[in-house]
Chains A and B, each alone.
Chain A
Amino acid sequence: QMTQSPSSLSASIGDRVTVTCRSSHNISNYVNWYQQTPGKAPKLLIYATSTLQTGVPSRFSGSGSGTDFTLSISSLQPEDFATYYCQQTYSTPQTFGRGTKVEIK
């Protein structure tokens, strides 16, 4: 239900990075974004499409509505190399995208 792209990307420190999730139907703004590093649990970054979770750096942002949603990192930092997942909570069962792995170029 949540088609996430790309599945992976290579980027350099300081680059702007964009990850996209597309839903097959209108899910309003019920989209959340998570970051996961190897061996760790996912960590909430953004909820309700664009609200930054407490403590998350302002270089992360989210946008979209309806069916198309975007996670952006304005200036990639070393600690941002990770896998990112979108999640829809508009309808049950809640579902996750397949992830975007952000790697160092």
Chain B
Amino acid sequence: QVQLQESGPGLVKPSETLSLTCNVSGDSMSGYYWSWIRQSPGKGLEWIAYISSSGSTDHNASLKGRVTLSLDTSKKQFSLKLRSVTAADTAVYYCAREDPSGYVTPWGRGILVTVSS
């Protein structure tokens, strides 16, 4: 049974880059999309981006190109970088596995990232 765990700093300064990593255990990464989703009181659940097991990516255009994803299947990890953060990027960030049909399961436990000086 696949499990995911986010890691990274819980506090990021405005204008800096938010960097998170997701470790995948229990199953191969092949055949799925590996996603980042965030949740904040103001915006609710917001899909950020995904990277496929073959390396193709897609991201939410609302983030205006601030997103970079990477994948390391040998380490069973994928990562998110979000540049030029503001207070509006404060949220719980989840990594998750997305089936090609679009549904998301399972999710990591989530990590709260606060943007503040």
Q: Which residue of A lies closest to B107 (CB)?
A: A41
Of A32, A41, A53, A97, which contacts B102 at CB under 8 A? A32
Whether A47 lies near B101 (C-beta < 8 A) is yes
CB distance from B70 to the nearest CB of A (A): 20
Q: What's the tally of chain A residues with a CB closer than 8 Å to chain B? A: 22
When A and B form their complex, what is the total count of cross-chain residue pairs whose Cβ atoms lie within 8 Å? Answer: 56
Please tell me if B44 contacts chain A, counting CB pairs below 8 Å: yes
Question: Interface segment, A9-17, A65-73, A74-82, A84-92?
Answer: A84-92
Whether A42 lies near B101 (C-beta < 8 A) is no
Whether A53 lies near B44 (C-beta < 8 A) is no
Of A48, A93, A98, which contacts B47 at CB under 8 A? A93
Interface hits, B33-64 → A, CB 8 Å? 44-47, 58, 60-62
Q: How distant is the Cα of A93 from the Cα of B67 in the complex, in angstroms? A: 14
CB distance from B85 to the nearest CB of A (A): 19
How many chain B residues sit at the interface, stated as a range, is 20 to 34
Q: A92-B58, A93-B60 are in contact. Are A44 and B103 (CB under 8 A)?
A: yes
CB distance from A19 to the nearest CB of B (A): 15
Instruction: List chain B positions with a Cβ less than 8 A from chain A.
Output: 44-47, 58, 60-62, 94, 96, 99, 101-110
- 12 pairs from A and B in contact (CB 8 Å cutoff): A32-B104, A42-B45, A42-B107, A44-B103, A44-B105, A47-B102, A47-B103, A53-B103, A87-B45, A87-B103, A92-B58, A96-B44
